[in-house]
C-alpha cells in the first residue's frame, strides 16, 4: 500500500464519506490514487471554498470536515478558513501537499512552511516524514480535532510520503501525554454552583456554541425552566434552544436583541455555558454584570476568567456538567422572586418583538427575513455570511434546532456563508439549505456556483443586495460622521445573469412578498437558485458602539406592534 | 532590572514538553501573541526520555500569568506546566564574559573579582580573559558591573534555569 492509499483508507476508517479539495503539483500522487477509490471528492473552485465547505460540513453534522489542498499557494489559501475553524471551535482536518522531504527548506517551487504559518491557528499539526506514519497521524488528527474543545488539525504530506510504500498499516494513536480534556465537571464546583442558584432571585443563562457542540440543548432547557432563568445566546449559540420558545430571549451583544441587552445587567446570577465572553457579547467589561455572580461552565479552562471574573468556574463538557447540576438541584423549588423575574422578562420579550413587517420598496431587510422565516421549515439549515446580512439573519431568523444556523462568529470571515452552505448540504442532503449573504461577501466566493452546478448540490442563495459593504457603511454613518470611505460597491454585477452563466437559475426580487414565493418554489423543485434581493441600502439595526456598555444602545428598536399601529416609514 | 527573585512581576515557569521539532516555536510564539515578555528561555533534555524541560522567566502580572499557563497547557506538546515559587526554588544562570586586561594590574584586579565571585577564568590571552560565572541573576549582574570599568568585549548568557526545592 502506498502513502496516498493509506490516506484514503484512514479517512474512510474515520467515517469520512466526502472530502473537499483542489489538486496541484504536490498532490498529484494522492489524486491519482483517489481516482480508483470510492471516497467522494468535491472539486471546489478555490481552496478557500474547500475549507469553508469542510467547516459547514462539520458544523451541520458534528463530524470532522476534511479539505485537501496542494503545497504553497494551495495551502496558504486554506489559512483563513483554518483560522475561522480555530476561532469557532470547528473540527476540521486540513490535508496539504508538501514538496518532497529532501527539498524542504530549499525554497523549492510551491514550497511554503504551512506548519509554521498555521501554528498559532491550529489546535495541532503534523508533518508526515514517511508513508508508514500516515495511518497513525490521521487517526490521531481526528481524535484531537473532535475531542475536548474541537478545532482544526493540519496534516502536511510531502510528495515522497504519498508515493512511499508502507511496510505495514499500523494506526495506533500517537501518544499525547499532554492532552487530557476534562469532560466531567468537578462535583464540588457543581455543588457550589447549585448553592448560588438556590440563592438567586434574578438568574439568567448565557449559552454559547459549546452547548451545540456538546449536544446539551435538552439539559439547558431543563435547567432554564427549573430555575426560572431565561436564556440569552451568543451568535455561536444561536439555535441551541428554540428561538420561538418563551424562555429564549435571543442574542446578546453588540448587535443583540433589545430584551437581552437591557436585561443582562439586571440579573443577580449569570450562568454562562460554552461561551467565551467575546468583546462582541459583553460590551465594555467594566460595566458588564455590575451586580451579578457568575458561574462559568466551559470545556476549555483557558476561557474561564480570561475576560470576566468568575465566582464558580466549572471545567467540563456542557452536557455532562448541566446534567449533574440538574441532579444536584433535585427537589429545587423556585422562589417567587425568580418566578416574577422570569415572567417579567418573557413579557418584555413579547412586547419587544422586533418589527419585521414592511410593505415598502426598496424591500426592507427585516421583511425579507420575515419571508424567509415563513417559507422555511424547521429542518432547514441556514448559513449566514458576515456583516449586516449576518446580523439581520441572527436577529430576525428564528432558529429552532441546534446546528441549523451556521455562520462565522469569531473571525468574521466574509465569503464564509455560501461555501459553508455547500458543506452543510453535503453533510445533510435531506435538509434544505439556504445561504443568507450580502453582495460583497458573495462576490468573494461566487465561483463556487460552478461547484454546486457540477455536483448538483441544491442550495438557495439569498443575496441581501444593498450595493454596499453594509456593516462598515453603518459604522461610517453612525460613528464616522457619514464619511463613506470605500464602502460603495458601485458596479455590482447582474447577479441573475451571473447565476445563469453558471447554469443556475437567478431571479431578481424587488417587491415584498416575492422572496417567499421564490424560496417556496426552489424548495419544491429542490433546485439551486440565486435570489438577488434588492433591499433598502441605509437600513441599520440599533447597535452597541464599540467600547460602550452592553445596555447603551445606539438607535431605536422598532417593534412589530408599531407596524400594526400604522407607524411605518 | 533582572532581579526577578525580588519582584512580583517576574515568574519562573517550568514546563515539560515533548522533544519534537517546532515545540520551542509554539511556546515562544504563544508568549509573543499574548503580549507576555520573555526574559529568558532555556531548553534541554529532562529526566524523562523524549521529554524536554523548558524554563521560562517571564515578566507580567498575575492575571496574564494565569492565562499564559492555561494557554501553555492547551498546547498538545506541553505535558506539564508549573509556576515555580521563587521562595521555594533555586534558579541559576551561566554567563561567559570576555574582559580586557591590558596590564598586570588590571589582570590582578580581575582575578580577585573572579575569586570573590567564585567564578573561573577559562581562557586567557595577551590582552583579554574569558570568565565563566554561575549564579543567580543578581550575582552575575554585580560581577558584570564591576568588570565594566576594565572594558567588557563580549557577554554570552544562558538565561536562568530553575528547579523547586525538596517536595515543592
Q: Which of A109, A165, A184, A245 is catalytic?
A: A109
Domain B4-84, CATH number (from 3.30.70.260, 2.60.40.10, 1.10.260.30, 3.40.50.300) = 3.30.70.260
**Residue A110 designated active-site:** yes
Q: What is the pLDDT of residues B128-147, one digit of tens each?
A: 999 999 999 999 999 999 99
Helix (H) or strand (E) holding B68: helix B62-74
Q: Show the DSSP H helices in A36-97 as ranges.
A: 47-61, 73-76, 79-87
Question: Can you tell me the mean pLDDT for A124-136?
Answer: 97
CA A123/CA B105 separation, integer angstroms: 61
Strands of A224-319, DSSP E = 231-233, 248-251, 269-273, 293-298, 312-315
Would you call A554 helix, strand, or coil by DSSP? strand
| First-residue to last-residue Cα distance in chain B | 27
Q: How far is CA A130 from the centre of its chain?
A: 35
CA B15/CA B135 separation, integer angstroms: 21
Q: Which of A159, A319, A349, A558 is catalytic?
A: A159
* A300 Cβ under 8 Å from any chain B Cβ: yes
Checking if the pLDDT of A361 tops 70, the result is: yes
CB A552 within 8 A of CB A482: no
In this predicted structure, what is the pLDDT of residue B31?
A: 86
Higher-confidence residue of A410 and A492: namely A410
* A301 Cβ under 8 Å from any chain B Cβ: yes
CB contact under 8 A, A178 and B26: no
Checking if the pLDDT of A163 tops 90, the result is: yes
Counting residues of chain A whose pLDDT is more than 70, the rounded percentage is 99
In this predicted structure, what is the pLDDT of residue B62?
A: 83
In this predicted structure, what is the pLDDT of residue A568?
A: 45
In this predicted structure, what is the pLDDT of residue B3?
A: 47
Give the closest residue to A488 by CA, choosing from A538, A447, A446, A442.
Answer: A538
Helix (H) or strand (E) holding B89: strand B89-100
In this predicted structure, what is the pLDDT of residue A242?
A: 97
Pairing of strands A433-438, A405-407: unpaired
In this predicted structure, what is the pLDDT of residue B63?
A: 83
- Rg of chain A's alpha carbons, rounded to an integer? 24
C-alpha distance from A120 to closest chain B C-alpha (Å): 7
CB A530 within 8 A of CB A505: yes
CB contact under 8 A, A119 and B74: no
Question: Can you tell me the mean pLDDT for A289-317?
Answer: 96
Domain range list for chain B: 4-84, 90-164
Helix (H) or strand (E) holding A69: strand A65-69
CB A232 within 8 A of CB A241: no
Question: Can you tell me the mean pLDDT for A391-415?
Answer: 97
Residues contacting A569, CB < 8 A, separation 6+: A360
* A521 Cβ under 8 Å from any chain B Cβ: no
Contacts of A300 in chain B (CB under 8 A): 74
Q: What is the pLDDT of residues A21-55, one digit of tens each?
A: 999 999 999 999 999 999 999 999 999 999 999 99
Average pLDDT, chain A: 96
Q: What is the pLDDT of residues A368-398, one digit of tens each?
A: 999 999 999 999 999 999 999 999 999 999 9
* A119 Cβ under 8 Å from any chain B Cβ: yes
Q: Of A73-82, A194-203, A219-228, A328-337, where does mean pLDDT reach its minimum?
A: A328-337
Checking if the pLDDT of A336 tops 80, the result is: yes
In this predicted structure, what is the pLDDT of residue B7?
A: 61
C-alpha distance from A306 to closest chain B C-alpha (Å): 7
Checking if the pLDDT of A221 tops 70, the result is: yes
DSSP character at residue A490: -
CA A296/CA A279 separation, integer angstroms: 16
CA A441/CA A424 separation, integer angstroms: 18
**Residue A159 designated active-site:** yes
- Rg of chain B's alpha carbons, rounded to an integer? 18
Q: Could you give the angle at the alpha carbon of A50 between the alpha carbons of A45 and A51, nearest 5°?
A: 145
CB contact under 8 A, A119 and B71: no
Residues contacting A310, CB < 8 A, separation 6+: A294, A295, A296, A304
Q: Of A93-107, A488-502, B61-75, where does mean pLDDT reach its minimum?
A: B61-75
Contacts of A123 in chain B (CB under 8 A): 76
CB A111 within 8 A of CB A99: yes
Checking if the pLDDT of A367 tops 60, the result is: yes
C-alpha distance from A154 to closest chain B C-alpha (Å): 13
* B73 Cβ under 8 Å from any chain A Cβ: yes
Checking if the pLDDT of A569 tops 50, the result is: no
Give the closest residue to A200 by CA, choosing from A311, A350, A275.
Answer: A311
Closest residue on chain A to B71 (Cα): A302
Q: Which CATH architecture has domain B90-164?
A: 2-Layer Sandwich (3.30)
DSSP character at residue A30: H
Q: Which of A14, A30, A47, A319 is catalytic?
A: A47
CB contact under 8 A, A178 and B22: no
CA atoms within 13 A on the CB side of A191: 3
Contacts of B22 in chain A (CB under 8 A): 115-116, 119
DSSP character at residue A364: P
**Which domains, ranges and CATH numbers included, belong to chain A?**
3-163 (3.40.50.970), 187-350 (3.40.50.1220), 365-538 (3.40.50.970)
Contacts of B75 in chain A (CB under 8 A): 178
Q: Which of A1, A13, A63, A110 is catalytic?
A: A110
Q: What is the pLDDT of residues A8-27, one digit of tens each?
A: 999 999 999 999 999 999 99
Q: What is the pLDDT of residues B100-123, one digit of tens each?
A: 998 899 999 999 999 999 999 999
Give the pLDDT band (50/70/90) at residue B2: very low
Q: Do domains B4-84 and B90-164 have the same CATH topology?
A: yes
Would you call A248 helix, strand, or coil by DSSP? strand
Amino acid at each position: 500500500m502506498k502513502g496516498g492509499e493509506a490516506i484514503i483508507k484512514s479517512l474512510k476508517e474515520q467515517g469520512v464519506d466526502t472530502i473537499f479539495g483542489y489538486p496541484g503539483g504536490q498532490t498529484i500522487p494522492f489524486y491519482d490514487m483517489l481516482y480508483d477509490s470510492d471516497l467522494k471528492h468535491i472539486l471546489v473552485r478555490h481552496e478557500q471554498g474547500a475549507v469553508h465547505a469542510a467547516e459547514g460540513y462539520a458544523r451541520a453534522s458534528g463530524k470532522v470536515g476534511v479539505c485537501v489542498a496542494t503545497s504553497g499557494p494551495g495551502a496558504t489559501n486554506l489559512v483563513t478558513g483554518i483560522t475561522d475553524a480555530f476561532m469557532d471551535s470547528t473540527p476540521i482536518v486540513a490535508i496539504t501537499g508538501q514538496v518532497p522531504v529532501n527539498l524542504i527548506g530549499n525554497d523549492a517551487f510551491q514550497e511554503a512552511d504551512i506548519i509554521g504559518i498555521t501554528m498559532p491557528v491550529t489546535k495541532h499539526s503534523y508533518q508526515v516524514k514517511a508513508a508508514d506514519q500516515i495511518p497513525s497521524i490521521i487517526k490521531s488528527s481526528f481524535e484531537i480535532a473532535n475531542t475536548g474543545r474541537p478545532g482544526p488539525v493540519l496534516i502536511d504530506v510531502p510528495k515522497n510520503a504519498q508515493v512511499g510504500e508502507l511496510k505495514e498499516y499500523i494506526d495506533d494513536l500517537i501518544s499525547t501525554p499532554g492532552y487530557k480534556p476534562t469532560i466531567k465537571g468537578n462535583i464540588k464546583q457543581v455543588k457550589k454552583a447549585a448553592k448560588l442558584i438556590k440563592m438567586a432571585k434574578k438568574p439568567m443563562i448565557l449559552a454559547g456554541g459549546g452547548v451545540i457542540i456538546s449536544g446539551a440543548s435538552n439539559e439547558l432547557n431543563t435547567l432554564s425552566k427549573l430555575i426560572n432563568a431565561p436564556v440569552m445566546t451568543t451568535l455561536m449559540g444561536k439555535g441551541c434552544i428554540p428561538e420561538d420558545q418563551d424562555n429564549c430571549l435571543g442574542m446578546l451583544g453588540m448587535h443583540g436583541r433589545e430584551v437581552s441587552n437591557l436585561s443582562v445587567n439586571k440579573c443577580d446570577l449569570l450562568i454562562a455555558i460554552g461561551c467565551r465572553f467575546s468583546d462582541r457579547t459583553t460590551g465594555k467589561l467594566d460595566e458588564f454584570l455590575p451586580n451579578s455572580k457568575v458561574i462559568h461552565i466551559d470545556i476549555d479552562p483557558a476561557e474561564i476568567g480570561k475576560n470576566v471574573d468568575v465566582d464558580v468556574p466549572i471545567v467540563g463538557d456542557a452536557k455532562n456538567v448541566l446534567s449533574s447540576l440538574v441532579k444536584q438541584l433535585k427537589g429545587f423549588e423556585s422562589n417567587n422572586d425568580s418566578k416574577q423575574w422570569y415572567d417579567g422578562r418573557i413579557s418584555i420579550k413579547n412586547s419587544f418583538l422586533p418589527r419585521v413587517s414592511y410593505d415598502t420598496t426598496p424591500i426592507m431587510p427585516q421583511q425579507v427575513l420575515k419571508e424567509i422565516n415563513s417559507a422555511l421549515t424547521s429542518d432547514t439549515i441556514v448559513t449566514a455570511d458576515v456583516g449586516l446580512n449576518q446580523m439581520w439573519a441572527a436577529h430576525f431568523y428564528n432558529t429552532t434546532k441546534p446546528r441549523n444556523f451556521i455562520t462565522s462568529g469569531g473571525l468574521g470571515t466574509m465569503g464564509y456563508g455560501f461555501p459553508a452552505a455547500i458543506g452543510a448540504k453535503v453533510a445533510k442532503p435531506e435538509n434544505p439549505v439556504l445561504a443568507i449573504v450580502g453582495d460583497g461577501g458573495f462576490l468573494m466566493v461566487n465561483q463556487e456556483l460552478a461547484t454546486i452546478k457540477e455536483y448538483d448540490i441544491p442550495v438557495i442563495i439569498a443575496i441581501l443586495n444593498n450595493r454596499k459593504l453594509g456593516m462598515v457603511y453603518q459604522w461610517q454613518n453612525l460613528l464616522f460622521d457619514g464619511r463613506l470611505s470605500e464602502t460603495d460597491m458601485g458596479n455590482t454585477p447582474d447577479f441573475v445573469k451571473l447565476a445563469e452563466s453558471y447554469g443556475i437559475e437567478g431571479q431578481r426580487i424587488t417587491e415584498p412578498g416575492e422572496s417567499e414565493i421564490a424560496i417556496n418554489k426552489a424548495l419544491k423543485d429542490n433546485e439551486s437558485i440565486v435570489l438577488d434581493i434588492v433591499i433598502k441600502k441605509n437600513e441599520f439595526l440599533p447597535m452597541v458602539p464599540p467600547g460602550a456598555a452592553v445596555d447603551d444602545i445606539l438607535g431605536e428598536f422598532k417593534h412589530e406592534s408599531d407596524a400594526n399601529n400604522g407607524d411605518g416609514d | 532590572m533582572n532581579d526577578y527573585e525580588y519582584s512580583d512581576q517576574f515568574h519562573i515557569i517550568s514546563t515539560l514538553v515533548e522533544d519534537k521539532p517546532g515545540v520551542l516555536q509554539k511556546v515562544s510564539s504563544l508568549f509573543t501573541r499574548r503580549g507576555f515578555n520573555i526574559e529568558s528561555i532555556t531548553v534541554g533534555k529532562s529526566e524523562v526520555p523524549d521529554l524536554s524541560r523548558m524554563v521560562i522567566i517571564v515578566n507580567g502580572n498575575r492575571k496574564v500569568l494565569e492565562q499564559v499557563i492555561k494557554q501553555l497547557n492547551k498546547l498538545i506538546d506541553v505535558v506539564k506546566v508549573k509556576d515555580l515559587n521563587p521562595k521555594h526554588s533555586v534558579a541559576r544562570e551561566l554567563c561567559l564574559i570576555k574582559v580586557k586586561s591590558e596590564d598586570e594590574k588590571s589582570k590582578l584586579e580581575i582575578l580577585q573579582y573572579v575569586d570573590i565571585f567564585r567564578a573561573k577564568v577559562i581562557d586567557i590571552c595577551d590582552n583579554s580573559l574569558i570568565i565563566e560565572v554561575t549564579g543567580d541573576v543578581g550575582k552575575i549582574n554585580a560581577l558584570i558591573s564591576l568588570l565594566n570599568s576594565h572594558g567588557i568585549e563580549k557577554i554570552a548568557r544562558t538565561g536562568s534555569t530553575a528547579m523547586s526545592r525538596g517536595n515543592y
